[in-house]
Amino acid sequence: MRMSGNDAAETSKIEVWWDMKDCPIPEGYDARRVRPSMERAFEKIGYTGPVSITAYGNQTQTPDHHLLALSSTGVAVVHTIVESTRSVMYRDMVEWRGQNPPPATMMIISDQVEGDFSWDLARLQQRTRYDLFQANSMKSRDDLLLVYYANWRWEQLLGEEGTPPLVTCGLSSAAMFYCKSCNFDCKSLKKFRKHLSSYKHGMEEAINPPDKQLLCVTKAWARNYPATPENATAKIHVLWDMNDCPIPEGYDARRVRPSIERALKELSYTGLVSITAFADQKQTPVHHLLALSSTGVDFSHTLPWVHYSRMITDFEIWTKDNPAPASIMIISDEVASSKDRSTLICRKLQESNYNCFLAYSVRPFEMPVLVTSAEWLWDNLLAVSETKRNILHKCSESERVVAASTGMFCCTLCLCDCKSLDDFNKHLASKDHTQEEKRMLSHTQAFPHRQRQYKISNYYDEARYPPKTKRTRNAPRKGFLPRSLRFTRR
Ligand SMILES: [Zn+2]
Ligand SMILES: [Zn+2]
């Protein structure tokens, strides 16, 4: 996958961390070509900033002519034991991020990015984004959690027609040899070799080697952050999974919106809140539909096999019109706890750098890959308005909000928007809709292994027909209609 980066990053510095064991210098390859090859690859896609490269590995195994070739072209050489390469490289990367705020570009050359490495880096990228590149050998799979601007194959990258400098360039004075076991560094290969073969180094490496375990720095992050100034007044879009987090028996559904707004306000988020409720709306009790729509909650009709993909598609559509700063709130057990479900949202957050909130009815067993500024248990969130008095006052306040954001009913199967509950019910009972449901069901059964990951575009591509009805969601909305008056129970 390749995306075009932003202008500032294209001229800013490029930092490369290279695992020499996973991606070795091939037999007969002139190691002086490594740097120009990388520079060439970056140039080709418009990245022209200065490149600095650090090569990690057990350097007692690397031949002298490679080390000389690398250092003569300004590549820093780091010695560490093989088992620690991944964690040492990651630690250096996190440290570098702390010292080099964006815009800047990062490139990881490794086959071992999956697992805690990509989990933690994906979380770092959600909060602070760098243009990210990767190269790996043919052996490794592509990582799905991280958003890369380009993902090269190592051999292909080395094949770039970079010509090695004929004479040793002036960079060599900056190049250094490092030993991570002893915190030793020097500028000459001779001294480096002497160090690596010394008794002191041998003892240090045997007794006190660098950590083999990768340290996930984001695990220590707090869960509740007060709003930063730029996010405090930004828009907030709420995706509410009504299956996972239903309205409790006896709860007045009109209190959902004020409760959410109040909980956000307590953390100083005061931006306009839009809420979309996802469910098979044929199952939602009529009094809930009425109560929620009277407070400006939008409805999305989904069916189980496209439930999450529709939530994600809705989010993607919203991001197009709402660049950061903005916040997204996800109310869903599945998205909070399942890796499959949160991956796409995690990728979107790396691109958008939105502020994110989570609510769930059960606290996830593991820390979600989504970086959140606040998390709530659904029951606690709903109780927020209860603990305050003036519920009636709150309700009337949210009705004023409604005037600005008219609730809407959307069938995400047919991509059909209805402005009233009446029309919505008519649509759900219509022949066209029933046909669409059948068609989607049979299509989903034909591709059972992919059913959960469907996006609207995939579905229409594969089903080979365009949506019949164009969505009118972005069209200017009319003023608030007292829909409850127009509703007739069927
Ligand atoms: Zn050492
Ligand atoms: Zn429909």
How far away, in angstroms, is 472 Cα from ligand 2 center? 14
Q: Report cis status (omega within 30 of 0) of the bond before 325.
A: yes
Q: What is the mean pLDDT of each run of 10 residues along the chain (490 residues)?
A: 59 96 94 94 94 96 95 95 95 97 96 93 95 87 85 91 57 75 94 97 93 93 81 96 95 95 94 96 93 94 87 91 95 89 91 94 92 94 69 44 59 88 92 90 70 47 45 38 34
Which listed ligand is nearest to 302 at the C-alpha? 2
How far away, in angstroms, is 73 Cα from ligand 2 center? 62
Which listed ligand is nearest to 301 at the C-alpha? 2
How far away, in angstroms, is 6 Cα from ligand 1 center? 40
How far away, in angstroms, is 307 Cα from ligand 2 center? 14
d(CA 317, CA 294): 24
How far away, in angstroms, is 393 Cα from ligand 1 center? 69
Contacts of residue 430, Cβ cutoff 8 Å, sequence gap at least 6:
none
Phi-psi region of 251 (alpha: psi -120 to 50; beta: other; left: phi over 0): beta
Which listed ligand is nearest to 426 at the C-alpha? 2
How far away, in angstroms, is 294 Cα from ligand 2 center? 22
Question: Which one-letter amino acid corresponds to residue 410?
Answer: C
Q: What is the pLDDT of residue 222?
A: 74
- Count the residues in the chain: 490
Which listed ligand is nearest to 432 at the C-alpha? 2
Buried b (16+ CB within 10 A) or exposed e, 148-174: bbbebebeebbebebebeeeeeeeeee
Q: What is the enclosing helix (H) or strand (E) of 400?
A: helix 391-404
Q: Residue 387 CB: number of other CB atoms within 10 A? A: 9
Which listed ligand is nearest to 195 at the C-alpha? 1
Which listed ligand is nearest to 418 at the C-alpha? 2
d(CA 235, CA 345): 18
Task: Give the distance, in angstroms, between the CA of residue 332 and the centroid of all CA atoms in the same chain.
Answer: 17
Residues with CB under 5 A from ligand 2 (ion): 411, 413-414, 433
Is pTM beyond 0.95? Reply is no
How far away, in angstroms, is 336 Cα from ligand 2 center? 28
How far away, in angstroms, is 424 Cα from ligand 2 center? 9
How far away, in angstroms, is 209 Cα from ligand 1 center? 10
For the chain, the domains span: 7-220, 230-475
How far away, in angstroms, is 301 Cα from ligand 2 center? 8
How far away, in angstroms, is 412 Cα from ligand 2 center? 7
How far away, in angstroms, is 202 Cα from ligand 1 center? 7
Q: What topology is assigned to 7-220 in CATH?
A: Rossmann fold (3.40.50)
3-state secondary structure of 456: helix
How far away, in angstroms, is 36 Cα from ligand 1 center? 30
CB 110 within 8 Å of CB 82: no
Which listed ligand is nearest to 409 at the C-alpha? 2
Which listed ligand is nearest to 200 at the C-alpha? 1
Which listed ligand is nearest to 300 at the C-alpha? 2
How far away, in angstroms, is 411 Cα from ligand 2 center? 5
How far away, in angstroms, is 79 Cα from ligand 1 center? 8
How far away, in angstroms, is 110 Cα from ligand 1 center? 23
How far away, in angstroms, is 184 Cα from ligand 1 center? 6
* 370 to 98, 207, 277, 283: CA distances (angstroms): 20, 38, 20, 30
d(CA 260, CA 398): 11
∠ Cα 272 347 106 (to 5°): 115
Which listed ligand is nearest to 207 at the C-alpha? 1
Is it true that 7-220 and 230-475 share their CATH fold? yes
* 250 to 60, 80, 112, 287, 396: CA distances (angstroms): 71, 62, 51, 11, 21
How far away, in angstroms, is 196 Cα from ligand 2 center? 70
How far away, in angstroms, is 378 Cα from ligand 2 center? 29
Class of residue 110 by CB neighbours under 10 A (exposed 0-12, middle 13-18, buried 19+): buried
CB 161 within 8 Å of CB 43: no
Which listed ligand is nearest to 468 at the C-alpha? 2
- The CATH architecture assigned to 230-475 reads 3-Layer(aba) Sandwich (3.40)
How far away, in angstroms, is 428 Cα from ligand 2 center? 6
Contacts of residue 71, Cβ cutoff 8 Å, sequence gap at least 6:
77, 172, 175, 176, 177, 189
d(CA 148, CA 218): 20
